[in-house]
Every structure is written in structure tokens, then in C-alpha cells.
Amino acid sequence: MDLCGPMPTESQGGNKYFLSIIDDYSRKVTVFPIRNKSDVFHTFIRFQKRAERFLSRKVIAVRTDGGLEFCNKDMDNFLTELGIKHEVTNSYTPERNGVAERFNLTALDGIKTLLKSSEVPHKFWGEALLCFTYAWNRICHKDGNKTPFEKIFR
């Protein structure tokens, strides 16, 4: 899980950041455009409840960097209460959270490409992000056999 932002332009919905959550097995990405870093905790709760309800599987671990939006009393208490392991990477080692970091960079490139090719104003970056992520989850990646969407809903 990683936070990207602040974006150069506020989105049409007033968002400045996006939270990306990536399933380790399938590499399925879920993104949430959010207004502030302080929205991360409640956004994660919403994701966790929805993911467990739809997939009938428990979230067992979360890997984040050491940002205060992830490492705080509320998040720690919530994860501990549910028995979710919180793996925090060392400072100045983004490669330890490489899957999420790499996705964020790729998503930023995808957003720029979608906005530029469609000649849409930058305030639509949130919509472009959701569009990019929808496509990302439906194409094969490294293993080439199944899409992230197919893997998670096997």
C-alpha cells in the first residue's frame, strides 16, 4: 500500500492524493483518490471491509513505508485488533515497497498519457487514474497467463 501525491492539480472532486493498494498474490490494484493524507486510515478501513466481504478472505498483512499516514496510533490499533500484520519498510528504502512504488510511477505515466491524448484538462486526473487502473487489472503482466482480475476472482 502506498500514497502518491500531492498531485500538481487538484482533481475535479477536490482530491490531491491517491492511495494504491495492491494484492500481493494477484497484483490486482485498487486505487482511491483522496483529499488529504489524513483520509488514508478511513479509506483503508473501507477497503478492508469491502475486500473481505467480496472475496471471503481475510487481509493478513499490509506493507507500507514509514509515513505518518500509515504509522499512527489509529492504524496500529486497528491492524492489531484485527490481527493484520503491519510490515513497515525502513526509511529511504522505497524498493522494499517496490510493487506499490512501481505501480504509482506507472500510473502517473498512464494518467499523463490519457489526459494528453484525449486533450482533457489536468483536473480530470482522478478519472484518468480510475480508467488506467481498470485497464491495468484486465491485462496480463509478468507471468502472462492470467490478468490480476482473473487471479483474484478465480
pLDDT averages per 10-residue partition of the chain, 154 residues: 98 98 95 99 98 95 96 98 96 84 96 98 98 97 87 84
Kindly state the cell numbers that stand for 47: 477497503
The structure's pTM equals 0.94
What pLDDT score was predicted for residue 63?
96
Kindly tell me the sign of the dihedral angle through the C-alpha atoms of 89, 47, 39, 74.
negative
Q: Give the Cα-Cα-Cα angle 79, 83, 89 (nearest 5 degrees).
A: 55
Pairing of strands 29-34, 17-22: antiparallel
